[in-house]
Amino acid sequence: MSKFKKNRGKASPEVSTASLPDIIFMLLFFFMVVTVLRDAELKVEIETPRATELTKLEKKSLVNYIYVGAPVEKYKKEYGTKARIQLGDKFASLSDIPLFLEQHRSKVPEAQHGGIKSSLRIDKGVTMGIVADTKTALRKAGQLLINYSAKKKES
């Protein structure tokens, strides 16, 4: 008499997991592309000075960083406590600066060579002698765009 039947034990359809690997690989590639790895391990102590008039660097891929400061505790036995220059991941001398700049230029497209800047991250306790020598070595190597890194002064 009844036209409608009771649904006994109605089973829900299974969730398809066929697209799950695709989603996982898309997330993996996304995080691989977005994640920025640290370029260099700091081997010198850097406490940049504070300033009020700061401008933000644009196109950070065109910037090479030169660190000047006393070696961190881990390297003081080997390199002493005198201020040192760090290029990339290693301690360097002034004569290594032209090669460092040329290696950076080779990674940048030729059309953008005019926009390459050197950013000096110098500890505020460093004497001006090594800073002046570094600037002179940069000038001799043809690097005329120089930036000094600083932190914003608290008002």
CATH of the domain at 88: 3.30.420
**Residue 80 counted as domain residue:** yes
CA distances from 3 to 6, 7, 9, 10, 43 (A): 10, 13, 19, 18, 83
**Residue 54 counted as domain residue:** no
**Residue 38 counted as domain residue:** no
**Residue 68 counted as domain residue:** yes
Share of the chain above pLDDT 90, in %: 66
pTM: 0.74
**Residue 139 counted as domain residue:** yes
**Residue 131 counted as domain residue:** yes
Query: Which residues, given as ranges, of the chain have pLDDT below 50?
Result: none
The confidence score (pLDDT) of residue 41 equals: 82
The confidence score (pLDDT) of residue 8 equals: 64
Specify the number of domains making up the chain: 1
**Residue 65 counted as domain residue:** yes
The confidence score (pLDDT) of residue 2 equals: 60
**Residue 37 counted as domain residue:** no
The confidence score (pLDDT) of residue 139 equals: 96
CB crowding 83-119: b at 16 or more within 10 Å, else e: bbbbbbeebbeeeebeebbeebeeeeeeeeeeebbbb
The range of the structural domain enclosing residue 125 comes to: 59-152
